[in-house]
Chain A
Amino acid sequence: MSLIAQSGGFLRDRTGDSGCPSNNGICLGWMVDHLDRYWSPFLEHVVITLIPLTIGFAIALSMGLLAHRQKWLITPLTGFTSAIYTIPSISSFLLLLPITGRGNDTAIIALTAYTLVIIFRNVITGLAGVPQHAVDAARGMGLTNRQLLFRIELPLALPEIIAGLRIAAATTVGLAAFAYLAGAGGLGANIDADIDFRGNVLVCGVILTLLAATLDFIVLSIQRLLTPWRRAAA
């Protein structure tokens, strides 16, 4: 008597067609039924995306303001951030492992670095792009440096800075998919665990795209709120 017959149903016969998931198809019906297994990794993904974006933005803005005042800093800082950017993201997760251990923290550090690079570039460009005549006019009106910054320079630089934040948001959502290599959570582990299963890869891709679209929309809305005088040009 064969093993399958003896097993009392524990060993299943898979020689026939075992259905869509076994053939690694797209299996929309099955995916809809099993969406709950993506919920918890999705939340983790959101966490390891939002934290680097917030911290990276704060650091990039500070660095950018500093470099704007102390112009000699621009070249070394730009060079430094460009150097970080050339480190492949996959490698950065693996390289940080022995230093900071496994877990979300390592991923967050690496992702903050990349976010910072993208936003810093745009902060510098944005501030440099403030028309000289506006600065001159403000000085002519007797504004102090701080007033100049908050009333003229930052508002005019805002679209460029926000553009950087939008790019950083989308990029971080994508890069966070590699965070699982460093022991963090996120949907990357889901993709890798069953990369043959087209439905799985598709659903993860769609979820992350929706996440990025939502973040993009939120950031864009903030920009429109803060700069009512401009048609938000990208």
Chain B
Amino acid sequence: MIIAGILDTFGGAIEFIFQRRPSDAGTVEVGGLGEIVNLAGNHFAVSFLAIVISIAVSVPIGLWLGHLGRAELLAVGVANVGRAVPALAIIGFCVAFLGTGFRNLAFALTLLAIPPILTNTYVGMRQVDPELVDAARGQGLSGFQIVRQVEWPLALPTIFGGIRISVVTVLATAIIAPAAGLDSLGTPIFSEEIYGDEGVLGAAIVVALLTLVTDAGFAFVQRLVTPKGLKVVAREKRRPRLMPTSIRRVQHP
């Protein structure tokens, strides 16, 4: 009976996504692709802005600190603990100080997205085999060139791992946007009496799908950007070999 009920609601949710219907309160019409696309557009826009800004902020800092090997406590410890600050607190605080609206919400989400990206960029840089860095230095490469040609490509998988985690977190948190003055896919979830159980489930499904697609998109970009040599190594690592390999393990996100 519970299963039947769940399947029922599930079917209703799919219907909600594609078809306009009267709201549960019998007032206006809700649902349908038009509204979903509109809400999803807002949802995605504010998330995307937050991710882009957080990457622009975290990656350079992580690269620099990771290359120098400095400030591990900041880059990893503080950033990791930063993940613990509840999204609700960040958003509530921002609304109290900055006010509501798209820009302020994007700011709050950016704060939320920074910790995983900063941590992973730093860790990715530190994971690079020091012998390779020494060899490069021996060849006369400058610090900047080392970062660009040696460390960055090797650290990429880990960095992307961090970005993907942030993407998931931000997309999930953008559900609270209606409480901060912006309509998003959270609007049906917070207006259950209007959109009904089907609406809540439908919105949740769309968020999940959006997250999957975005995550897959970043995975694709990651594969594009990873140097071919590493992919060969990764493939060979999966095959048991008798000869030892000398390159240290590559991080798979």
Q: How far is the CA of A202 from the CA of B89 in the complex (A)?
A: 8
Is B86's CB under 8 angstroms from A188's CB? yes
Q: How far is the CA of A133 from the CA of B88 in the complex (A)?
A: 48
| Interface SS of B by simple majority | helix
Neighbouring A residues of B224 by C-beta, 8 Å: none
A54 → B minimal CB distance (Å): 17
Is B84's CB under 8 angstroms from A198's CB? no
Contact with B along A93-136 (1 / 0, CB 8 A): 01100110000000000000000000001001100111111001
Name the one of A136, A170, A201, A209 contacting B242, with C-beta atoms under 8 angstroms.
A136
Is B83's CB under 8 angstroms from A133's CB? no
B144 contacts the other chain (CB 8 A): no
Is A167's CB under 8 angstroms from B83's CB? yes
B80 contacts the other chain (CB 8 A): yes
Is B85's CB under 8 angstroms from A86's CB? no
Within 8 A of B (CB), among A24-52: 24
Contact with A along B156-176 (1 / 0, CB 8 A): 000000000000100111011
Name the one of A129, A212, A213, A233 contacting B249, with C-beta atoms under 8 angstroms.
A129
Is A131's CB under 8 angstroms from B123's CB? no
A177 contacts the other chain (CB 8 A): yes
State how many residues of chain A have any CB contact under 8 Å with chain B: 54
A7 → B minimal CB distance (Å): 32
A59 contacts the other chain (CB 8 A): no
B126 contacts the other chain (CB 8 A): yes
Name the one of B72, B88, B175, B208 contacting A188, with C-beta atoms under 8 angstroms.
B88
Within 8 A of A (CB), among B185-228: 186, 189, 200-201, 204, 207-208, 211-212, 215
Within 8 A of B (CB), among A151-192: 163, 166-167, 169-171, 173-175, 177-178, 187-188, 191-192
Is B204's CB under 8 angstroms from A174's CB? no
| Interface SS of A by simple majority | helix
Contact with A along B62-91 (1 / 0, CB 8 A): 000000000010001100111111111110
A204 contacts the other chain (CB 8 A): yes
A174-B86 contact, Cβ under 8 Å, with A82-B215, A166-B80, A209-B81: yes
* Chain B, Cβ-Cβ closest to A169: B84
Neighbouring A residues of B175 by C-beta, 8 Å: 88, 90-91
* Chain A, Cβ-Cβ closest to B78: A213
Q: How far is the CA of A170 from the CA of B78 in the complex (A)?
A: 11
Neighbouring A residues of B212 by C-beta, 8 Å: 82-83, 86
Is B81's CB under 8 angstroms from A170's CB? yes
Is B208's CB under 8 angstroms from A128's CB? no
Which residues of B are at the interface with A, using a C-beta cutoff of 8 A?
A: 2, 5-6, 72, 76-77, 80-90, 92-93, 95-97, 115-116, 119, 122-123, 126-127, 168, 171-173, 175-176, 186, 189, 200-201, 204, 207-208, 211-212, 215, 237-238, 240-242, 244-245, 248-253
Write 22 A-B pairs (CB below 8 A) sorted by A numbering: A82-B212, A83-B212, A87-B204, A90-B189, A91-B189, A91-B200, A91-B204, A95-B204, A98-B2, A121-B253, A125-B252, A131-B244, A131-B245, A136-B244, A177-B87, A187-B86, A188-B86, A198-B96, A198-B97, A205-B85, A205-B90, A209-B82
